[in-house]
Protein backbone atom coordinates (compact mmCIF):
# COMPACT_ATOMS: atom_id res chain seq x y z
CA UNK A 1 0.00 0.00 0.00
CA UNK A 2 2.80 2.40 0.83
CA UNK A 3 4.51 1.65 -2.48
CA UNK A 4 1.39 2.66 -4.39
CA UNK A 5 1.03 5.78 -2.28
CA UNK A 6 4.61 6.87 -2.97
CA UNK A 7 4.22 6.13 -6.68
CA UNK A 8 1.11 8.34 -6.80
CA UNK A 9 2.99 11.10 -4.98
CA UNK A 10 5.89 10.78 -7.41
CA UNK A 11 3.52 11.31 -10.34
CA UNK A 12 2.50 14.61 -8.76
CA UNK A 13 6.06 15.94 -8.82
CA UNK A 14 7.72 14.39 -11.88
CA UNK A 15 6.75 13.89 -15.52
CA UNK A 16 5.16 10.57 -16.44
CA UNK A 17 7.84 9.85 -19.04
CA UNK A 18 10.44 9.87 -16.28
CA UNK A 19 8.49 7.60 -13.92
CA UNK A 20 6.98 5.10 -16.37
CA UNK A 21 9.94 2.68 -16.34
CA UNK A 22 9.66 2.41 -12.55
CA UNK A 23 5.98 1.55 -12.88
CA UNK A 24 6.83 -1.36 -15.20
CA UNK A 25 8.91 -2.97 -12.48
CA UNK A 26 5.61 -4.06 -10.92
CA UNK A 27 5.39 -6.71 -13.65
CA UNK A 28 8.73 -8.11 -12.52
CA UNK A 29 7.84 -7.99 -8.82
CA UNK A 30 4.45 -9.61 -9.43
CA UNK A 31 6.16 -12.46 -11.28
CA UNK A 32 8.74 -12.97 -8.53
CA UNK A 33 6.20 -12.84 -5.71
CA UNK A 34 3.79 -15.09 -7.62
CA UNK A 35 6.51 -17.69 -7.93
CA UNK A 36 7.70 -17.40 -4.33
CA UNK A 37 4.25 -17.36 -2.72
CA UNK A 38 2.27 -19.61 -5.07
CA UNK A 39 4.85 -21.48 -7.17
CA UNK A 40 3.21 -20.01 -10.26
CA UNK A 41 5.05 -18.88 -13.38
CA UNK A 42 3.42 -16.85 -16.16
CA UNK A 43 2.44 -18.70 -19.31
CA UNK A 44 3.31 -17.71 -22.87
CA UNK A 45 0.25 -15.47 -23.28
CA UNK A 46 1.01 -13.57 -20.10
CA UNK A 47 4.63 -13.02 -21.09
CA UNK A 48 3.55 -11.91 -24.57
CA UNK A 49 1.08 -9.43 -23.08
CA UNK A 50 3.68 -8.06 -20.68
CA UNK A 51 6.13 -7.57 -23.56
CA UNK A 52 3.50 -5.74 -25.62
CA UNK A 53 2.51 -3.49 -22.70
CA UNK A 54 6.09 -2.68 -21.77
CA UNK A 55 7.33 -2.09 -25.30
CA UNK A 56 4.39 0.16 -26.20
CA UNK A 57 4.89 2.18 -23.02
CA UNK A 58 8.60 2.56 -23.66
CA UNK A 59 7.93 3.51 -27.29
CA UNK A 60 5.50 6.23 -26.17
CA UNK A 61 8.00 7.44 -23.59
CA UNK A 62 10.75 7.81 -26.20
CA UNK A 63 8.33 9.44 -28.65
CA UNK A 64 7.20 11.98 -26.04
CA UNK A 65 10.78 12.86 -25.15
CA UNK A 66 11.62 13.33 -28.81
CA UNK A 67 8.60 15.61 -29.35
CA UNK A 68 9.38 17.70 -26.27
CA UNK A 69 13.04 18.08 -27.27
CA UNK A 70 12.16 19.19 -30.81
Hey, how many other C-beta atoms are within 10 angstroms of the C-beta on 65?
A: 13
Range of the domain at 15: 2-69
| Contact indicator for 50, 42 with CB cutoff of 8 Å | yes
Q: Would you write out the chain's pLDDT as a tens digit for each of its 70 residues?
A: 898 898 889 889 988 777 877 778 888 889 999 999 999 999 999 999 989 988 888 888 788 777 766 5
- Return the sign of the alpha-carbon dihedral for residues 25, 26, 29, 35: negative
Secondary structure of residue 39 in the 3-state scheme:
coil
Number of domains in the chain: 1
- Would you tell me how many other CB atoms lie within 10 Å of the CB of residue 18? 13
Q: Quick check: 62 and 55 in contact, CB under 8 A?
A: no
| pTM strictly above 0.75 | no
Q: Is 41 helix (H, G, I), strand (E, B) or coil?
A: coil
Amino acid sequence: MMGHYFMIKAFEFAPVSLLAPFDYTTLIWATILGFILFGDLPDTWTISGAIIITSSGLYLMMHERRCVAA
